[in-house]
């Protein structure tokens, strides 16, 4: 039986209308009708179509996994999940300024020049003393330059100004010109779909309890949370306090300057 027909028959058996399914899943009525006609072109891509099938199936009382597997088999298979590496803006240590290293090469060159100059001066002074002694004349003594005086212009200077320390808050590291979303499965596993503003799939899969994922984009991150009540959500370094329920499906969008639910 086609996917759309199976969903329609299950909806009718559950005594639900298309409008009621749309209100419960937050999927627009035209998209629900199109899916029941096995037309997935209005879903906005395979990722969203897969999520729509899953949400409608749960609402009408069907096990979504066989239907999703059938959808993958008919539409080229599910793409391999591509985990986005954790963005560094949640690591306060990343904003610690790099300390300047002393210029040891310059200091060594200055020391060598000073030692060589001192040796040459000593040799010349000794030869002058021996010649003047043989002639019986007096020799005026001069002070030899110290290595520190000769190398003074080459000695590296260190600034006494205090250097800024790392921020005590990881929130301060989040860039203001980007949107950064961090998801953590706290109470249970959750199915997650994340897309960038240009439609690029950032992640499509399941995160287990205790796992976290971080996504970043210049303009917008679109999310579908399959088990929203199990997810702890941070947007641009700030916790989103929306009360999601276990088993609830949420479609969210965030931009720089949020959090505010899309």
Q: How many CB atoms lie within 10 A of CB 179?
A: 24
pLDDT of the chain along its 262 residues, tens only? 899 999 999 999 999 999 999 999 999 999 999 999 999 999 999 999 999 999 999 999 999 999 999 999 998 766 655 554 444 443 443 444 555 666 667 777 777 877 777 776 666 666 555 454 444 444 344 444 444 444 444 444 454 554 544 434 444 456 778 988 897 888 888 878 888 888 888 888 888 998 999 989 988 888 787 777 888 878 888 888 777 778 788 888 878 878 754 3
Q: Which residues contact 259 (CB under 8 A, 6 or more apart)?
A: 235, 236, 238, 240
pLDDT at 249: 83
Q: How many CB atoms lie within 10 A of CB 49?
A: 22
pLDDT at 92: 40
Distance CA 255, CA 221 (A): 7
Q: Where are the domains of the chain?
A: 1-78, 104-154
Distances, alpha carbon 191 to alpha carbons 48, 54, 128, in Å: 13, 10, 91
Fold classification of 1-78 (topology level): 434 Repressor (Amino-terminal Domain) (1.10.260)
Strands (DSSP E) contained in 65-129 are: none
pLDDT at 90: 39
Dihedral, CA atoms, 141, 142, 146, 149, nearest 10 degrees?
170
β-strand partners of 223: 194, 252
pLDDT at 81: 56
The closest of 204, 236, 191 to 217, measured between CA atoms, is: 236
Distance CA 50, CA 261 (A): 22
Distance CA 233, CA 214 (A): 10
**Cβ(87)–Cβ(216) under 8 Å?**
yes
């Amino acid at each position: 039986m086609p996917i759309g027909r199976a969903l329609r028959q299950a909806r009718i058996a559950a005594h639900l209308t298309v409008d009621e399914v749309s209100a419960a899943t937050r999927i627009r009525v035209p998209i629900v009708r199109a899916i029941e006609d096995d037309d997935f072109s209005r879903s906005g891509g395979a990722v969203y179509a897969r999520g729509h099938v899953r949400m409608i199936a749960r609402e009408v009382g069907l096990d979504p996994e066989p239907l999703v597997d059938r959808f993958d088999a008919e539409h080229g298979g599910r793409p391999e999940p591509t985990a986005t590496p954790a963005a560094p803006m949640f690591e306060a240590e990343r904003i610690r300024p790099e300390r300047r290293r002393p210029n040891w090469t310059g200091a060594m060159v200055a020391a060598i020049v000073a030692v060589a100059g001192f040796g040459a001066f000593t040799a010349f002074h000794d030869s002058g003393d021996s010649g003047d002694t043989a002639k019986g004349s007096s020799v005026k003594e001069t002070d030899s330059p110290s290595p520190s005086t000769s190398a003074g212009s080459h000695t590296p200077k260190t600034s006494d100004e205090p250097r800024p320390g790392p921020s005590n808050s990881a929130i301060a590291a989040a860039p203001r010109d980007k949107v950064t979303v961090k998801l953590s499965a706290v109470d249970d596993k959750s199915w997650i779909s994340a897309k960038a503003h240009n439609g690029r799939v950032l992640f499509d899969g399941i995160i287990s309890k205790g796992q976290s994922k971080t996504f970043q984009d210049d303009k917008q991150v679109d999310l579908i949370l399959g088990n929203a009540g199990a997810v702890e959500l941070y947007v641009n370094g700030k916790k989103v306090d929306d009360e999601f329920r276990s088993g609830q499906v949420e479609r969210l969008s965030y931009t720089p300057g949020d959090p505010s639910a899309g």
